[in-house]
């Protein structure tokens, strides 16, 4: 029997906890892959990490939530060739739930087994993540639970019935968990997380536009999308703005946690982020403290000529 404890307006506590548990365990597995393979063969390290974390999550969800659908970045037919370079993989990756079934399902797990593969394969980098999110069809469809593990930082951020929490290790060396609370931006200053490799050109224009209006902007390069949104939630930056192309698995879990923590999360024109769509592309996003949302969306509108949401 599948455990579905809890009740109330949010997802059952079992789903929040399960998302955190699976993201954390997949993260531990990825640390083991780094230790096992080292960094000399980057392609083998990337592909092995992607597929081992994917297979772990697919197996765990099949056992723990057998009636739910799954959409994984690594469950697409297009990634099957990774098996040729991954170490000790038997056959192609386990495929996603059939699209026609997923689109009519009441519960869909949207996962990115390794977000920030490039950073994962660079020795010493800590800005990569594991994403596990649950979307439910109830109402108009919504993210009901989610977790972002930052394995190299020893942290997992996840949703909870009354908000969001961050789990790690306390000063006494024991596991600890505390509520996740957003830090308001400093007056007249915004730190915006941007892609290390593909910072959208319009962000420089946005920084200039906000500067003219009296807000000093610092663009902070960070690796994976999950690490960037986690940095917003941990107070290391004030916002994440991206418009260079993404998919649902890149943002579902971190957006679930950000919304649960009270953050603003939307498309860059202010529109609602929609998940479990036929086309999983979700190309742009802004996540920030609610106090910054109007400033950022107005500035983005001014530099992109996009209509306000």
Closest CA to 16 of 177, 271, 275, 257: 257
Q: 3-state secondary structure string, the chain?
A: CCCCCCCCCCCCHHHHHHHHHHHHHHHHHHHHHHHHHCCCCHHHHHHHHHHHHHHHHHHHHHHHCCCCEEEEHHHCHHHHHHHHCCCCCCCCCCCCCCHHHHHHCCEEEEEEEEECHHHHCCCCCCCCEEEEEEEECCCCCEEEEEEEEEHHHCEEEEEECCEEEEEEECCCCCEEEEECCCCCCCCCEEEEEEECCCCCHHHHHHHHHHHHCCCEEEEEEECCHHHHHHHHHCCCCCEEEECCCCEHHHHHHHHHHHHHCCCEEECCCCCCCCCCCCCCECCCEEEECHHHHHHHHHHHHHHHCCCCC
- 159/151 Cα distance (integer angstroms): 17
Give binding residues as ranges: 73, 112, 114-115, 250
**From the annotation, which residues make up the binding site for Mg(2+)?**
73, 112, 114-115, 250
Hey, how many other C-beta atoms are within 10 angstroms of the C-beta on 101? Answer: 11
């Amino acid at each position: 029997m599948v455990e579905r404890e809890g009740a109330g307006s949010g997802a059952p506590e079992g789903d929040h906890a399960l998302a955190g548990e699976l993201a954390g365990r997949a993260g531990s597995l990825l640390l083991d892959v780094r230790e096992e393979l080292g960094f000399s063969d980057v392609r083998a390290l990337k592909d092995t990490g992607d597929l081992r974390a994917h297979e772990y999550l697919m197996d765990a969800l099949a056992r723990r939530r057998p009636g739910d659908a799954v959409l994984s970045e690594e469950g697409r037919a297009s990634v099957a060739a990774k098996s040729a370079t991954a170490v000790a993989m038997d056959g192609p990756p386990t495929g996603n739930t059939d699209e026609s079934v997923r689109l009519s399902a009441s519960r869909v797990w949207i996962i990115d087994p390794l977000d920030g593969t490039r950073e994962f394969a660079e020795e010493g980098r800590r800005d990569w993540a594991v994403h596990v999110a649950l979307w439910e069809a109830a109402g108009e469809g919504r993210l009901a639970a989610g977790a972002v593990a930052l394995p190299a930082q020893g942290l997992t951020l996840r949703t909870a019935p009354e908000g969001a929490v961050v789990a790690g290790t306390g000063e006494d060396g024991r596991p600890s968990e505390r509520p996740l609370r957003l830090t308001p931006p400093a007056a007249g200053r915004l730190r915006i997380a941007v892609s290390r490799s593909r910072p959208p050109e319009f962000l420089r224009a946005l920084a200039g536009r906000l500067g003219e209006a009296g807000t000093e902007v610092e663009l902070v390069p960070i690796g994976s999308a999950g690490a960037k949104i986690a940095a917003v939630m941990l107070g290391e930056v004030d916002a994440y703005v991206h418009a260079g192309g993404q998919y649902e698995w890149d943002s579902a879990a971190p957006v679930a946690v950000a919304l649960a923590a009270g953050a603003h999360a939307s498309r860059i024109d202010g529109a609602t982020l929609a998940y479990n769509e036929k086309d999983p592309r979700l190309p742009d996003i802004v996540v920030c403290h609610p106090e910054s949302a109007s400033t950022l969306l107005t500035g983005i509108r001014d530099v992109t000529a996009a209509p306000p949401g």
